[in-house]
Structure 1
Amino acid sequence: MLKVLVGSWALFLGMFMLMVGNGLQGTLLGIRGGLENFSTFHMSIIMSAYFLGFLGGSRLAPEMIRRVGHVRVFAALGSTVSAVLILYPVLIEVWAWTLGRVVIGFCFSGVYVTAESWLNNAATNENRGKSLSVYMLAQMSGIVVAQGILSIGDVGGFVLFIIPSVLVSLAFAPILLSVSPTPTFETTRPMSIHNLVKTSPFASVGMFLLGGVFAAQFGMTAVYGTQAGLSVGQISLLVSVIYIAALTAQYPIGWASDRMDRRILIIGVATLGGVGALLSAMSGGDYYIILIGAAIVGGTSNPLYALYIAYANDFLEHEDMPAASAGFIFINGVGAIMGPILLGYVMGVFGEAYFWVVVALLMLAMAAYGLVRILQRPSDTAVEDQVSYSPVMASASPVAMGVAQEIYIETDLEDQAAEAQ
């Protein structure tokens, strides 16, 4: 692990600073929108816009990199993010914030693609898994630190918009000054949605529903907290708990994933997440119960992303895994775009507590569909034939997904070689 840190410290530091900026602006807008009297539905449109831009960036950024190179794309997208962050408090209009979120989502997606291709280029077969784990830790840590900064700032002023702008600008210095600018870069066309659903309907449906849950956590938690009358500090802690639980739960769930029927585990994890969301919904406004429920949701929803990828890989040939992962990014992205809009409508009609009700329904729908699939297809891949689990965030770009797939394939080939001996 130390060797990984020494070899790619600049990249990890830069991504940490970028995620502080991204995590800060996401929660800040949710709170500031309430202060500016934006309706819940308007805020849902604004939050959904990020995922629309992110999905577009994941599709277009690779072509931009091939045309003009990593450094130019990285610098151009970073400067655009910095500029938009400054414009938010200047143009306090729904249309301006919506457009800004589309642009920032697009830019961050492109930044992730660029940075992760550098990471993949620097990694070796021996340390690729550790590199991905440290990268994920840097991302999660950045989001959590952002909430701490938010809790001590003035959400009604300009400073909290300036801080992420500065951090994003500074984040590029260690990366551009120390990382090789010319890694090899290849992308894979996504598998058609029809073939993907046909190959693994369980994973495909689960990915779509999970997109809505992920968007709720990243985009609408602050909106919910504002509507519920929580203080800025309470909202910051709520968001932090979700991501800390997500990071903590990845590895025990991954350990279990390699030792039991994945469908059973997915059903159990999704059910637990649904129960956690219902716990928050029925808390009666008790903040500590809400925190417990949020931790359960965060600790189950994020590992589910990697579980669905691992489950689908059990039915795929090695050469089809990258194409399938690209297709799953698209399916998950569509769900993430629709999730905030659904939440905004429901919260506007029935009240903020229904934020958790919608999350619970999405999680329980995953579990219910898993039971349906077991009834339709009782036999499944034997535990010893399953590919190994690899942790990956739901916000992963096609490159990070490619790195995870390389780990799946390498581990699977090693297991096959060991069995042959």
Structure 2
Amino acid sequence: MINVLSSVWALLLGVVLIMLGNGMHSTLIGLRGGLEGFSAAELAIVASGYFAGFLSGARVTPRMIKRVGHVRVFAALGSFMSAALIALPLLTEPWAWTILRVLVGFCMSGIYVTAESWLNDASTNETRGKVLSAYMIAQTLGIIGAQGLLTLGDASTSALFIGASILVSISFAPILLSVSTVPVTEAARPMPLLQLFKDAPLSTVGIFLLGCVYATQSGMGAVFGSLIGLSANEIAMFVAIMFGGALIFQYPIGWLSDRIDRRKVICSAALIGAVACGLGWMASESNQYWMLMGAAFFAGGVTAPLYALFLAYANDFLSLEDMPAASGGLVMTFGIGAILGPLLAGWAMEQSGAPTFWLVMGVTFVGIAVYAAYRMTRRAAIPADETESYLGVLPTASPATVETAGVWVAEQAEAEAEAAAEEEAAQQAEAESAETKNPS
């Protein structure tokens, strides 16, 4: 692992710095929006703007790279994003923030596509799985670390926004100084949603609902904290614990999903999320701080693993040729859910109060669990030794990385199957040879 990291450490450092800046600004939106008197509905539109920009950037960036090259696209998007982050405290109006968030989402998506292209190019078939895992860990640590940086300043000033902009700006240095090749970036055309639903109904419906949950957590978590009167430090802790839970739960859920029916794991994880949301509802009503943090840990902890579970479960039923298009379709479906989730949560919080933040997520988790249980009655389970391996891809990854991860896992499974078949054939030949030499 050390040898693998030594070849991509600069790229990973750049990713951590990007996530520090992006993670800071995402929470700052809720903190500063509350200080400016923005309503929950207004902040929900602002939060959805990021995911609308992210979804469009994922489709447009590969064409931009093809036209002008990786370095120019990377530099241009980085410049626009830094400018947008600085502009946020200068234009404290909901409509302006929505536009800026769309721009930030578009730029972040493009930055991911470009950085991940270089990261993928820097790895080999033997190291790609470890590199992808290290990349996902770097992303999560960056988001968690960003919440700690928020405690160093005051959201009512421009200092934290400027700090986020600086982090994003300097993140380009280790990435641009460490890359020398120009990788090929080609995103597959997403599979039509009807075809995707026909081939992988649970993954299609589940990942749409999960998009609602994830965007509500990341886009409205700070808004919820602000509305119930948490301090800035407590809100930062609340968001950090949600992502910390995802980091801790990723491995055990993935390990379990490779050994039993994935639908049971999906159903169980969603039920854990629903119960956690119920506890979060009670904690926010009764002002129980540590119960609230526990609810955030478990609700956030199952969300990212569920994303990887849906991708892995879809791959179990797809051919190697269909995986890239299906991955693109699932990412798009997730993005649509991510746009709608904060809007629904913001409207509910506006109508019935801040605790409905948990109600929206809880009902969505229940929907995932119920549909997973229903699908268990409609299709027989695949034997565990015939399923594709789980790889902890995060919702923040670009479609290019999701496609790469799915294809890599499938290719590894095929290679292992071929190696096992060759070993069995060799053992059989050896046994036949021994029998010929020593006839009974």
State the TM bucket, normalised to the shorter chain: over 0.9
After TM superposition, list the pairs within 5 Å mapping 1:1-400 onto structure 2. 1-283=1-283, 284-377=286-379, 379-400=380-401
User: Greater CA deviation, 409-418 or 209-218?
Assistant: 409-418
Q: Which residue in 2 is equivalent to 1:412?
A: 413
SS in 2 for 1:303: helix
- Give identity over the alignment, percent: 50
- Name structure 1 gaps, 5 residues minimum: none
Distance 1:363 1:419 in 2: 39
Q: Distance in 1 between matches of 2:308 and 2:266?
A: 10
What letter corresponds to residue 391 of structure 1 in structure 2? G
Deviation sequence 1:66-93 (CA, Å, 0-9, x none): 0000000000000000001111111111
Cα distance in 1 between the residues matched to 2:211 and 2:121: 29
* 1: CA distance, partners of 2:266 / 2:57: 29
CA distance in 2, matches of 1:194, 1:419: 37
TM-score scaled by structure 2?
Answer: 0.94
Separation of aligned partners in 2, 1:335 and 1:294: 20
Q: Name the CA distance, whole Å, in 1 between partners of 2:296 and 2:77.
A: 33
SS at match of 1:336: helix
Question: By how many angstroms is 1:184 displaced?
Answer: 2.0
Residues 315 and 388, structure 2, Cα contact 8 Å, conserved in 1 = yes
Asked whether the 8 Å contact 1:128–1:403 carries over to 2, the reply is no
| Higher gyration radius (CA) | 2
What code does the residue aligned with 1:195 have? Q
Q: SS of the residue aligned with 2:322?
A: helix
Which amino acid in structure 2 is aligned with residue 67 of structure 1? Answer: R
Q: Deviations 1:208-258 (Å, cap 9, x if unpaired)?
A: 000001101111100000001000010000111011110111111111011
**Runs of at least 4 residues of structure 1 off by over 4 A?**
none
What amino acid maps onto 1:367 in structure 2?
A
Secondary structure in 2 matching 1:275: helix
State the Cα deviation string for residues 143-190 of structure 1 (Å, max 9, x = none): 111100102211100100100111111111111112124112222111
Deviations 1:285-322 (CA, angstroms, capped at 9, x unpaired): 21100110110011111100010011111110011111
Q: How many Å separate the matches in 2 of 1:134 and 1:198?
A: 34
1:384 partner letter: D
After the TM superposition, which of the residue ranges 91-100 and 179-188 deviates more from structure 2? Answer: 179-188
Q: State how far apart, in whole Å, the 2-side matches of 1:254 and 1:64 are.
A: 35
| Equivalent AA in structure 2 for residue 180 of structure 1 | S
Letter of the 1:331 partner, please give it.
T
Query: 1:374-397 deviations in whole A, cap 9, x for unaligned?
Result: 2233x1212121111111001110
Deviation at 1:351, TM superposition (A): 0.6
**What residue identity is the alignment partner of 2:265?**
L
Cα distance in 2, alignment partners of residues 171 and 230 from structure 1: 31
- Deviation, 1:410, is 2.1
Q: Following TM superposition, by how much is the alpha carbon of 1:282 offset from its aligned partner in structure 2, in angstroms? A: 1.2
Provide, for residues 181-210 of structure 1, a one-character-per-residue CA deviation record: whole Å limited to 9, x for no partner: 411222211111111000011110001000
Q: Does the 8 A contact of 2:320 with 2:407 survive in 1? A: no
| Cα offset, 1:414, TM superposition | 2.4
- Separation in 2, partners of 1:73, 1:264: 43
Aligned letter for 1:80? F
CA contact (8 A) 1:390 1:407 kept: no
Give the letter aligned to residue 63 of structure 1.
R
Gaps of 5+ in 2: 425-440
Q: Distance in 2 between matches of 1:162 and 1:393?
A: 27
